[in-house]
Chains A and B, each alone.
Chain A
Amino acid sequence: MCDQTFLAITFGPCDNCSQNKPLMNIYLKNEPINYCSLCVELMACQGLAKGETIHTLKTESETLKAKLEEERAKLHDVELHQVAEKIEALGQFVMKTRRTLKGHGNKVLCMDWCRDKRRIVSSSQDGKVIVWDAYTTNKEHAVTMPCTWVMACAYAPSGCAVACGGLDNKCSVYPLSLDKNENLAAKKKSVAMHTNYLSSCSFTNSDMQILTSSGDGTCALWDVESGQLLQSFHGHSADVLSLNLAPSETGNTFVSGGCDKKANVWDMRSGQNVQSFETHESDINCVKYYPSGDAFATGSDDATCRLYDLRADREVAIYSKESIIFGASSVDFSLSGRLLFAGYNDYTINVWDVLKGTRVAILFGHENRVSTVRVSPDGTAFCSGSWDSTLRIWA
């Protein structure tokens, strides 16, 4: 039963201060108490104990954050670009659109390469998921999802299936068959269930497990065959927009970024958040591990991309220019990690020298926001998808 307070006025000695005053008959936890109005007010202030607790939590949080920054700053003895001064500068960059993949009826939201370096899966706002052959620009498969805004798609490591999801709050896996006439939608398997939209998905090293991130603020690891939840990751305080698995040699971790401006590194087996970085000034749209696994880059609505070093536990580089005012929606590294390709909402793709922190090229071509950028598995080209409903392959 909840506490109820009733007010009735009588006159007499107050239970608390013993003065003769007009009393208020109050019931506290079903016990009648007679307090004068002054004591009632004092008691009401105690209700602020909850507010005070939030306040004390906040101050403790701020103190810890300051201490963390202090510890990190102690090791910040040099800047990445200073260490990189001795490295030879990169030559002129000539990258052009080599293929344009047309076929989506609406904004392309996500794409992924197959490990055979040739096939691409892409998904769009109109619910279509298409598998392309990037060499010939032919469409190999097409599936229509029952929802719009398919924000996530991923190719299975074996190349035999694709996973996708979006506003349906689920991640579904479609096995790809060689028979083009076969109806792919019939074989669909629903794997993940979230309570809000699916923002990103990725297979782990095998076709058997999928990692997903969602607008409900969590990430989760699922078994594809049974649809069972293997591990869930809580720690973000807002929508999680992107995730990326560490390159296989470095172990079982992944990084996620979200609307709470935080990028978190997680241990997949324990579900623990091992490191957290909060230096961006707005939503983090995309996170990508550095090829060596010791660092990761992020692209954010604050128009900057940043590099975070995991062993130094801090941000070590910011890629920004005053002329760039639109958010970065997607980032990816070249094979060696020397170049960072970032797609922006101003329709361009900027190519950054990761070590020196300078921009080496701007690529124009898309006629609307660039929503996704991925380098091919062998590093010979990269593909960009855009709200202008096309995908472009650059080399």
Chain B
Amino acid sequence: MARDMSDKDILKMELEQLQKEVKNTREPVSKTAKEICEWVEAQSAEDPLIKGVPEDKNPFKEKGGCIIT
């Protein structure tokens, strides 16, 4: 679709989009960044790639053993 549009049409599309976006509501970064950090900290405890998984529990760690599914 985009390939069939003339430059003028593409510009018009972008212009309409920008007009809409200027009206969006925004929050300050200090607030949203803090919330992201808090969310991450809450979840980090459960993140296997961060806290690590004991060798015997991780299905990927040792190859060749018996896996009971």
Contact assessment for B49 and A71 in the assembled complex, using a CB-CB cutoff below 8 Å: no
Contact assessment for A58 and B37 in the assembled complex, using a CB-CB cutoff below 8 Å: no
Contact assessment for B35 and A294 in the assembled complex, using a CB-CB cutoff below 8 Å: yes
Q: In the assembly, what is the distance between CA of A234 and CA of B20, in Å?
A: 15
Of residues 36 through 50 on chain B, the ones whose CB sits less than 8 Å from some CB of chain A are: 36-37, 39-41, 43-44, 46-50
A240 to chain B, nearest CB (A): 9
- Given contact pairs A68-B22, A336-B50, A382-B49, A234 touches B1 in the complex (Cβ within 8 A): yes
Contact assessment for A338 and B50 in the assembled complex, using a CB-CB cutoff below 8 Å: yes
Contact assessment for A312 and B32 in the assembled complex, using a CB-CB cutoff below 8 Å: yes
Residues of B at the A interface (CB closer than 8 Å) are: 1-3, 5, 7-8, 10-15, 17-22, 24, 26-37, 39-41, 43-44, 46-50, 53, 58-61, 63, 67
Q: Does A255 contact B (CB under 8 A)?
A: no
Q: In the assembly, what is the distance between CA of A335 and CA of B42, in Å?
A: 11
Q: In the assembly, what is the distance between CA of A289 and CA of B61, in Å?
A: 28
- The residues of B that contact A379 with a CB separation of less than 8 Å are 47-49
Contact assessment for B34 and A83 in the assembled complex, using a CB-CB cutoff below 8 Å: yes
- Given contact pairs A61-B14, A234-B1, A395-B61, A75 touches B29 in the complex (Cβ within 8 A): yes
Contact assessment for B1 and A54 in the assembled complex, using a CB-CB cutoff below 8 Å: no
Total count of chain A residues near the partner, CB < 8 A: 74
- The residues of A that contact B30 with a CB separation of less than 8 Å are 77-78, 83
Q: A77-B30, A237-B14, A354-B40 are in contact. List 13 more A-B contacts (CB 8 A).
A: A68-B18, A75-B27, A83-B37, A87-B41, A218-B2, A290-B36, A292-B39, A335-B46, A337-B43, A338-B43, A379-B47, A381-B49, A395-B49
Residues of A at the B interface (CB closer than 8 Å) are: 50, 53-54, 57-58, 60-61, 64-65, 67-68, 71-72, 75-80, 83-84, 87, 90, 95, 98-99, 118, 134-136, 195-196, 216-218, 234-239, 260, 272-276, 290-292, 294-295, 309, 311-314, 316, 334-339, 354-355, 375, 378-382, 393, 395
Q: In the assembly, what is the distance between CA of A53 and CA of B18, in Å?
A: 18
Q: In the assembly, what is the distance between CA of A380 and CA of B29, in Å?
A: 31
Majority secondary structure, A binding face: loop
Contact assessment for A335 and B48 in the assembled complex, using a CB-CB cutoff below 8 Å: yes
Q: Which of A98, A196, A273 contacts B17 (CB 8 A)?
A: A273
Contact assessment for B21 and A275 in the assembled complex, using a CB-CB cutoff below 8 Å: yes
- Given contact pairs A136-B67, A273-B17, A337-B43, A80 touches B26 in the complex (Cβ within 8 A): no
Q: In the assembly, what is the distance between CA of A311 and CA of B35, in Å?
A: 11
Contact assessment for A339 and B11 in the assembled complex, using a CB-CB cutoff below 8 Å: no
Contact assessment for A395 and B37 in the assembled complex, using a CB-CB cutoff below 8 Å: no
Q: In the assembly, what is the distance between CA of A80 and CA of B32, in Å?
A: 9
B33 to chain A, nearest CB (A): 4
Contact assessment for B40 and A355 in the assembled complex, using a CB-CB cutoff below 8 Å: yes
